Amino acid sequence: MTNLKTVEIKAFLPAKDYALSQRFYQDLGFTMASDGGGVSYFHYGNSSFLLCEFYVQAFAENLSMHLLVEDVNA
């Protein structure tokens, strides 16, 4: 593993209502850079994640995403 060079890591977030979730993240200011095959790639600055049209209640209820911002009021 000492020669492993990572580029990035992204979380896959499940969506119970895929279209509604896409609009939600866009309304927050994220850009949906791609959408296909039930997976949407969202980014805002250096932060990104993958939204998936896949929902398992137990998984969704135990998943967290932390987004740290400089000014929450902005």
Asked if the structure places residue 44 within a domain, the reply is yes
26 domain residue, yes or no: yes
Average pLDDT over residues 13-19: 95
State the pTM of this model.
Answer: 0.81
Rounded mean pLDDT, 64-70: 83
Higher-confidence residue of 37 and 6: namely 37
Please check whether residue 27 lies inside any domain of the structure: yes
Averaged pLDDT score across all residues of the chain: 90
Q: What's the total number of domains in the chain?
A: 1
Lowest-pLDDT range, 24-28, 43-47, 58-62, 64-68? Answer: 64-68
Structure confidence by residue, pLDDT tens digits, 50-63? 999 999 999 888 98
What is the residue range of 49's domain?
12-61
- Domain contains 39: yes
**C-alpha distances in Å from residue 60, one per residue of 40, 41, 45, 51, 69:** 17, 18, 25, 12, 23
Q: Is 21 part of any domain?
A: yes
Residue 1's pLDDT is: 56
